[in-house]
């Protein structure tokens, strides 16, 4: 009888313990659902913010490798490519650099941010919207150093970096406060000229070309070297897609190179 009483007491204790455990699990499940709900709400708020902002938001690898780990959906409206294309292929950015520039980008990858394109395209989108809304002219310049790979191979990257810095200084001197210049690739610069026609932009482009040609470089003690630049220039056409606009200017710049380099090429 005593043993039966003890058995009942043990069972009651186990039952009580089990009920406590069930209550803990129920509280845990309730807490999990509450946290899941908060995460879902935060995710929805984030998605709303990402879709409503005019800029592209992205996450890159800390190592500086090519490629993005995340990029917001509005990149498709801005440059015409889906986020999945940027994330899926780590060479996507690299593949959209002109073949002549790829060797330089590969060599200078640690020094050049992998995601410089979006910074330019963010501002281009702003100016693109402004141009369409207010019917104001917008002109784009694309500059590329002539024979820069040969210069780098001959004198080294330290001297090459000096050329790039000097070109940046010349560009800055020749632009107005409202003009915007970006490092677009290894040896390429883009310049946005808001509220500017192609005719006026050509004057700026020619000023940059002639001023930079005056620069002296001394990569060796007994050498005085001049470096030239080729520039493509075009005015935005109403309702033209941004990537078509940029491609048009890019083709003009390379047409200038084919025509002998050290020149401004416009439509």
pLDDT 10s digits, 178-237:
898 888 877 889 999 999 999 999 999 999 999 999 999 988 877 889 999 999 999 999
- pLDDT grade for 147, boundaries at 50, 70 and 90: very high
Q: Taking the CB of residue 184, how many other CB atoms lie within 10 A of it?
A: 21
Angstrom CA distances, 149 to 104, 159, 214, 230, 237, stand at: 7, 12, 20, 14, 33
Decide which of 37 and 266 is more confident.
Answer: 266
This prediction's pTM: 0.60
Highest averaged pLDDT of the listed ranges 13-22, 155-164, 230-239: 230-239
Lowest mean pLDDT among 144-148, 223-227, 257-261: 223-227
Choose the most confident range, by mean pLDDT, from 63-72, 120-129, 135-144: 135-144
173 to 85, 170, 204: CA distances (angstroms): 38, 5, 11
Going by pLDDT thresholds of 50, 70 and 90, the confidence category of residue 73 is confident
Q: How many CB atoms within 10 Å of residue 67?
A: 18
pLDDT, position 10: 72
Q: pLDDT exceeding 70 applies to what percent of the chain?
A: 74
Contact 92, 86 (CB under 8 A): yes
Identify whether 44 is a catalytic site residue: no
Residues 6+ apart with CB under 8 A from 191: 140, 141, 142, 143, 171, 175, 179, 180, 181, 182, 204
Q: What is the pLDDT of residue 93?
A: 53
Residue 114: the pLDDT is: 34
Report the pLDDT value the prediction gives residue 31, as an integer from 0 to 100: 76
Which of 5-9, 204-208, 237-241 is the most confident on average? 204-208
Instruction: Choose the catalytic residue: 14, 73, 84, 187.
Output: 187
């Amino acid at each position: 009888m005593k043993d039966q009483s003890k058995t009942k007491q043990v069972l009651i204790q186990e039952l009580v313990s089990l009920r406590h455990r069930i209550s803990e699990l129920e509280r845990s499940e309730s807490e999990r659902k509450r946290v899941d709900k908060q995460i879902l709400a935060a995710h929805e708020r984030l998605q709303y913010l990402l879709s409503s902002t005019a800029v592209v938001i992205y996450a890159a690898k800390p190592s500086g490798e090519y490629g993005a780990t995340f990029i917001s959906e509005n990149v498709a409206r801005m440059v015409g490519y889906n986020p999945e294309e940027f994330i899926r292929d780590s060479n996507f950015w690299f593949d959209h650099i002109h073949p002549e520039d790829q060797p330089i980008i590969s060599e200078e990858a640690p020094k050049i941010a992998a995601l410089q394109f979006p910074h330019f395209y963010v501002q281009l989108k702003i100016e693109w919207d402004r141009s369409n809304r207010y019917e104001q002219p917008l002109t784009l310049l694309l500059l590329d150093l002539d024979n820069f790979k040969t210069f780098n191979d001959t004198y080294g990257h330290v001297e090459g970096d000096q050329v790039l810095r000097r070109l940046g200084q010349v560009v800055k001197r020749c632009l107005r406060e409202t003009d915007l210049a970006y490092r677009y690739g290894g040896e390429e610069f883009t310049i946005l000229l808001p509220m500017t026609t192609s005719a006026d932009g050509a004057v700026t482009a020619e000023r940059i070309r002639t001023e930079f040609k005056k620069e002296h470089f001394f990569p060796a003690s007994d050498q005085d070297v001049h470096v030239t630049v080729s520039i493509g220039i075009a005015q935005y056409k109403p309702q033209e897609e941004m990537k078509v606009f940029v491609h048009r200017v890019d083709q003009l710049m390379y047409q200038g190179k084919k025509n002998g380099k050290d020149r401004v090429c416009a439509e």
